[in-house]
Every structure is written in structure tokens, then in C-alpha cells.
Amino acid sequence: TVNTDWWRGCVVYQVYPRSFQDTTGDGSGDLKGITQRIPYIASLGVDAIWLSPFFKSPMADMGYDVSDYCAVDPMFGTIADFDALIDEAHSHGLKIIIDQVLSHSSDRHPWFVESRASRDNPKADWYVWADAKPDGTAPNNWLSIFGGPAWEWDSTRRQYYLHNFLASQPDLNFHNPDVQAALLETVRFWLKRGVDGFRLDTVNFYVHDKLLRDNPPMPPGAANDIPDTNPYGYQDHLHDKTQPENLEFLKRFRALLDEYGGRAAVGEVGDGTRSLQTVAAYTGGGDKLQMCYTFDLLSPEFSAEHVKKSVLAFENAVKDGWVCWAFSNHDVPRHISRWTKPGGDTDAVAKFAIALLSCLRGSICLYQGEELGLEEAEIAFEDLRDPYGIRFWPGFKGRDGCRTPMVWETGATNAGFSRGKPWLPVPESHRKRAVDVQEQEDGSVLAHYRAVLAFRREHPTLAGGSIEFLDAEGDVLAFLREAGNEKLVCVFNFADKPAVWALPAGIGAVTPLELPGWQASLDAGGVSLPALGAFVGRLD
């Protein structure tokens, strides 16, 4: 029988295609390279692969600017290569989730080329066009996430168009039903090719405020989302993202998935303080998205308190939706670099973090290279590729530090990533952490990832059971996971010194389980944890 609920509690491995494995020597990874490495991905014990965009693109935002939704960019290979990749993944029992960047296209997309040609062509209304104010300035005060106004003047139409990201990423007009239909047809194209799921880029940006109302000023003391100084919350122009227009499209999207069966979607929701309200709306009712992720645990904060607060907030706000937790992805500095204290041991943080992530309720997502304990790379300005980083250097150094190539063989040219010059440098410090080295070492981060993920698989309560936080002091986080008649108590010590977690009164007998990697000890006084220690025990 087919498990149509495979996405519930699954472990996803995110591949950034340009940096995974190059087979042509052009310095950029490709689909053939991913196919070659499928056995490695399967060996980690994950359920699915999320592929960042490999579609035809001028690569202004590294493929998040799509110029043909139904074609593979020649940099990555051919559609036949994609079919081969899916077959290989499926033969290893892995699902394939692809990234869909529907909110905006590239300015080179034929739809936009046509749309910008005149005010009365058939696609004139496919993007968000607006007249200048009488003084010639932009229609309103909306700002782009990548800096500056969210409006770009077009001298042919003599109008402005909206872009939430780069000016070369014009925003599609979701108020136009033809746009929705055209996008859904592109999704169908990939469903027919056998993809199992979708990661929906910036899903809360699809529908803009039709009235084009100005952003209100930022409330005093509110965190500023963009690195340069601005008095407005950039996302406020989205107004209420849970209006019927937003939800209607997601229902149409889901109905399409359900025509094929067993397919799932995870939405990316970065909606500031309203993120959870938005996630609840997008995943509620069973007729929209199955899962969403927010940025809560992709942040610099690393404490028992923060994890508890984030998980509780999600559990309280989102009743029938499902979360996909991640600590790293292609947009944020690698988590061990965010979270290791100066002079601290990054391997210890890597091992602790995967144990914690594996014990969280929901699906989880890993980012390529984290299983090797790779640190954020330092990239010189001359080597930067990320337009967002180039714009805000040096205040913000961009996202290239987590996008450097995978390291496969320590002694090979470019650590086995490419025989040509890699598009981003391979840091020397990464080379000694290559897969071939770590496969020989029992105590390696890689060995630990495999063991912990196996542990999660052996205890389905960890993925799907209920979660309840238990009293704990200071840097200790303790929670109870329960499903059927299994009860597991999970305890984590975030501190760089040992801690003891006193067993709560009346908890009964606790049997330690072989959570790989730690020798936490248990006695009548409680659980004694080393620095960055973790413990899982079964309650009788």
C-alpha cells in the first residue's frame, strides 16, 4: 500500500544543486551529480530530498528568478537528467520535493517581457503595475526585502511594477485568475513527471494588497527586518495574508495535488510577528497546505527558553497543521556558526542540535553539509555571488557562506566537488571534514547524524507524538513525547557546563534509551547531563 501520509514527521534533506556535485567541470553542480550521490543521501536515513531551484533562470537570485517554470536550466542539465534523478531517488525509497517560486518570476520570463511591452497586451495585467504619484514617485512606500523601494519604473509602459525582492524578480499578479491558472499548469507539469512534493517559496507573498495602501510606520521598538534603516515594516504591505484570496489559491493548489494523490506541500512563511497566524490559516482545514515552516529556529537565538517558546507558540497557534522544523537552510548562516559560543566546540553543537531536532514533533529539514559539521564559510567580497550580500556588504555579508560546495573526498581537487573552478570557493577548513574522512571515524558528526536519525526512525513517537514541556531550570529543556502507550522523556542541556535535571515528582520509573553519543546518567537524583548533553528515556 502507498503511504499517502509520508510527509507527516518525515526527514527532509535540502540539496542546493549548484553546490552539491559537479559532473561537467564547469564549477557548478548539476542534476547528474545529485543522481550520483543519491546513495549517499539515502545512507543518511532521510525520507525526502528538497531540491532548491534548477529551472531555467538568468540566476540573478541563484535560480529563485525563474524564466521558464517547465524547463531545466542548461547549467543543471536536461529534463531527461531530472527524470533519471527522480527514478534513482524513488528506487532508494526517497521522495522528491521541488522548490516552486510562484510569487515572482524573472524579468526575462516571456510573460513579463510581454507584460511590460504595452499597457494593453494580453498579459498587461499579469504583473503588478501602477501609475506614479502626481510628483512622479512610486505608488506607495513599500520596500523590497533586498533593499530600496519595492517599485521599479518602466520607461516603456511609463508605470511602476512591484518586486518584493530584486527588481529583476517582478511580482506576479495573483488577483488575475489567468495567472493562477497558468502557474497551476506549471505545477501540473512536475506532478506528471512524478515529483512527490513542493516547497512553496515565499507563499505569503502571493497576493498583494489590491488597494496598494501605504505601510504603516513600524511600531516603536519593533525589530527591523531589513539591514538598512527604514521606518516601515516591509511586510506590512501584505496586510492580512489570511484573506480569502490567499486561501482560495492554496485550495486550488491542494485540489491539484489531490488529483495525483500522496503529494504534499510545505510553505515558507516569513510574516514577522504574524507568521503563526498565517501558518494556521494556510494549513488549517485539511484543504490547503500540509506543512509550513517559519524562521523561528533559523534565528541566532539558541537557548532552552527560545526553543520552548517557539515550539509552544507553534503548538498553540497551529491546530491541524504540521510544522517542518529546520535549523539551517540556504538563506541563513549555518547553525553551528550561529550557535557555538566563541572558542566553543562546533562538533559538540552539531551533535547536540541534531539530537534536539530529531526529538521535535513535526517534520524536520536538514541542509546539505550540516551532517559534516561544516561551519559558515568566510567569503571575500570579490568572491561573493549573492546579490543581497553584495548590496549590503559589509553590514550584512550575504548568504554565500552557507552555499559553498559539498566536500566529498579530502584529497581530491576541490574536495571532489568539481574538477573545474568552483562557482564559490571550497574553504580549506571544510576539506578536512569531507565525507570520506568522516566515514572512517566512529565519533564523527556524520556517524552521529546517521545514528541519531536511525534512533528517530526507531521511535515514531518522536515524529508524531504529542509534546508537553516539563519543568526545568536554566539551560535545561525537558519535554515529554507520547503516542499510544509509549511515553518518552527528552532532556537537553544547552549549557557549556554539566547540569542535573531533577525528575518531577510522580513521574515513575525512567529507563534510559540508547540515544547515540551521550553518557548522561540517571539516578534517584535525576538525569545528569554533560555540557551540551542530551538524554531520552522511556517512562514505564
| Enzyme catalytic residues | 201, 259
Three-state SS letters, 277-330: HHHHHHHHHHCCCCEEECCHHHCCCCCHHHHHHHHHHHHHHCCCCEEEEECCCC
Q: Is 246 exposed, middle or buried (0-12, 13-18, 19+ CB in 10 A)?
A: buried
For residue 122, say if its preceding peptide bond is cis, omega within 30 degrees of 0: no
Give dist(CA 326, CA 324) in Å, integer.
7
Q: Which is nearer to ligand TEU, 353 or 402 (CB)?
A: 402
Number of Cβ atoms within 10 Å of the Cβ of 390: 13
Q: Which is nearer to ligand TEU, 103 or 414 (CB)?
A: 103
Q: Are strands 55-56 and 48-51 parallel, antiparallel or unpaired?
A: unpaired
Q: Which is nearer to ligand TEU, 106 or 444 (CB)?
A: 106
Residues 489, 319 contacting (CB under 8 angstroms): no
User: How is residue 186 written as a grid cell?
Assistant: 506549471
Which single residue is written with the C-alpha cell 491542494?
254
Q: Which is nearer to ligand TEU, 392 or 469 (CB)?
A: 392
Q: CB of 300: closest distance to ligand TEU in angstroms?
A: 12
Segment holding 100, helix H or strand E:
strand 95-100
Q: Which is nearer to ligand TEU, 69 or 352 (CB)?
A: 69
Q: CB of 145: closest distance to ligand TEU in angstroms?
A: 5
Residues 467, 455 contacting (CB under 8 angstroms): no
Nearest to 246 by CA among 206, 287, 215, 283: 206
User: How would DSSP label each residue in 37-82?
Assistant: THHHHHHTT-SEEEEPP-EE---TTTTSS-SEEEEE-TTT--HHHH
Give dist(CA 208, CA 204) in Å, integer.
9
The residues that touch ligand TEU, with contacts defined as CB under 6 A, are 61, 64, 101, 145, 165, 201-202, 270, 330-332, 399
Q: Which is nearer to ligand TEU, 270 or 373 (CB)?
A: 270
Q: At what angle do helices 275-283 and 304-317 cross, to 10 degrees?
A: 40
* Rg, the chain, Cα only: 23
Q: CB of 138: closest distance to ligand TEU in angstroms?
A: 20
Q: CB of 65: closest distance to ligand TEU in angstroms?
A: 7
Q: Which is nearer to ligand TEU, 129 or 165 (CB)?
A: 165
Q: CB of 165: closest distance to ligand TEU in angstroms?
A: 4
Q: Which is nearer to ligand TEU, 300 or 443 (CB)?
A: 300
Q: CB of 53: closest distance to ligand TEU in angstroms?
A: 9
Nearest to 47 by CA among 313, 353, 264, 253: 264
Nearest to 399 by CA among 301, 332, 337: 332
**Residue 129: CB partners within 8 Å, gap ≥ 6?**
115, 119, 154, 157, 159, 160, 161, 162
Q: CB of 281: closest distance to ligand TEU in angstroms?
A: 18
Q: CB of 332: closest distance to ligand TEU in angstroms?
A: 6
User: How would DSSP label each residue in 102-142?
Assistant: -SB--TTSHHHHHHTT-SSSTTTTSB-EEPPPTTS--SS--
Q: Which is nearer to ligand TEU, 315 or 378 (CB)?
A: 378
Segment holding 479, helix H or strand E:
strand 476-483
Q: CB of 494: closest distance to ligand TEU in angstroms?
A: 24
